[in-house]
Structure 1
């Protein structure tokens, strides 16, 4: 049997000391790194580097970025990490045209605000100015226009309840059809308070009712394509769908023209 080499405790002591020294050095480096990181964090939090540097707004179309940032009440002199994002979102959603807002931190000093706006479905004149009407029927008095824009029809005579109803109906119409509508008049009758008269950009006059307006107007393009350019009259989309030429039209058969429509 081979003789086993016996290492005395005296020979092992230097090795143990070296191992302990390496372990102590590792601990020292770890502790020193943590202390340096803590100092850097404290310096960062107390310095202008921790302040909000920029705010970016995305997905806004009608409300400008400066207005949204103003509503957010974010200060560029405050700490980036002290900003209450939930509070910021609530403040932005106080703007009448903002349906929903989300805010996210980007890097170490930038906020990104994403918004969802209420759709502008019409304009209405009040005094010397025209005001946007949102899909929820609210009139945006903060926006005063000298002339209505061409991205939505102009409303005439609508009161609060009916204004909300027509705004909702307009929001349900495809944009391609909504852009064809030039003006809408509320013309209530004793037997029908929802009666409306509208004019399209292609020169048609249409009679309808508010409650089924969006579904009836969905058939308008196919019906309008069947109308003769030589005959002027009124297209009725209130009950059924039929066309009545104006009196005095030079038409061989000035009869009511009916259309097959599924609405």
Structure 2
């Protein structure tokens, strides 16, 4: 049987002391690191470095950055960590053109605000000014324009429920088709309260109804391409799709033209 090597207690004492020393050093380094970090945090919180330094806004197209920052009520002299982000989002969403807002912290003193705006689908004149109409039918009184922009049609005579309904329909139309519409008039008659009359940028007059306006207008480009430039008249997109020339046109061209809505 081989002799086992026996290590005496005297030989083990230096090893135990060395292990305890290393353990004590590691513990000291950990404690020192924590103390230094605590000191740095205290210094940071008490210094201007902890104040809001910058705010950036993303996703906005119609509402300018300064307006959104003003609505947020975030001040550059307040603590970055004391800002209630939920409260900030609620304040920004009070702007009539902001549909949704989010705010995130970036680095140690920067806020990034993301906004989703309601779409401007039309303009309507009230008094001496033109006002944007949003996809939910709201009129933005804060925006007063001397002339309507060309990015959406001009509405005439729409109010309350009918304004909301035509705004919704316009929000369902592709932008490429919406840009073809110049003006829309609410023109109810004895048989149909939803009747509307509109003019396109190429001078075409169209009769339609509010309830199916979006789906009917989706066929307009293909139908308009079949119309002759030499014949003036009214394109009906209310029931079916057909073209009626104005009175006084050449007799040979006065017959109604019907179109397949699937074209």
Q: CA deviation at 1:13?
A: 2.5
**1:139 aligned counterpart, secondary structure:** coil
- Structure 1 residues 16, 208: CA separation in 2 closer, same or farther (over 3 Å shift)? same
Gaps of 5+ in 1: none
Contact kept, 8 Å, 2:153 with 2:182, in 1: the verdict is yes
Q: CA deviation at 1:146?
A: 0.5
Q: CA deviation at 1:47?
A: 1.0
- Structure 1 residues 256, 6: CA separation in 2 closer, same or farther (over 3 Å shift)? closer
CA distance in 2, matches of 1:231, 1:198: 18
CA distance in 2, matches of 1:172, 1:196: 17
Matches within 5 A, 1:1-263: 6-262=6-262
CA distance in 2, matches of 1:192, 1:262: 25
**2:252 aligned counterpart, secondary structure:** coil
- Structure 1 residues 12, 164: CA separation in 2 closer, same or farther (over 3 Å shift)? same
Contact kept, 8 Å, 2:197 with 2:206, in 1: the verdict is yes
Gaps of 5+ in 2: none
CA distance in 2, matches of 1:19, 1:141: 77
Deviating beyond 6 angstroms after TM superposition, the runs of 4 or more aligned structure 1 residues are none
CA distance in 1, matches of 2:262, 2:15: 94
**1:152 aligned counterpart, secondary structure:** coil
Q: Give CA-to-partner distance per residue, 1:39-64, whole Å, 9 cap, x none.
A: 11111111111111111111111111
For structure 1, which segment, 143-152 or 188-197, has the greater mean C-alpha deviation from structure 2 after superposition? Answer: 188-197
- Structure 1 residues 4, 244: CA separation in 2 closer, same or farther (over 3 Å shift)? closer
TM-score with structure 2 setting the length: 0.96
Contact kept, 8 Å, 1:231 with 1:251, in 2: the verdict is no
Q: Give CA-to-partner distance per residue, 1:124-159, whole Å, 9 cap, x none.
A: 000110000000000000000010000000001111
CA distance in 2, matches of 1:4, 1:227: 109
- Structure 1 residues 10, 184: CA separation in 2 closer, same or farther (over 3 Å shift)? same
Contact kept, 8 Å, 1:97 with 1:118, in 2: the verdict is yes
Contact kept, 8 Å, 1:195 with 1:207, in 2: the verdict is yes
CA distance in 2, matches of 1:119, 1:215: 19
- Structure 1 residues 8, 121: CA separation in 2 closer, same or farther (over 3 Å shift)? same
For structure 1, which segment, 112-121 or 80-89, has the greater mean C-alpha deviation from structure 2 after superposition? Answer: 80-89
Q: Give CA-to-partner distance per residue, 1:56-98, whole Å, 9 cap, x none.
A: 1111111111111111111111111111111111111111111
Q: CA deviation at 1:5?
A: 5.0
CA RMSD across the alignment:
1.5
CA distance in 2, matches of 1:7, 1:220: 99
- Structure 1 residues 29, 229: CA separation in 2 closer, same or farther (over 3 Å shift)? same
**2:133 aligned counterpart, secondary structure:** strand
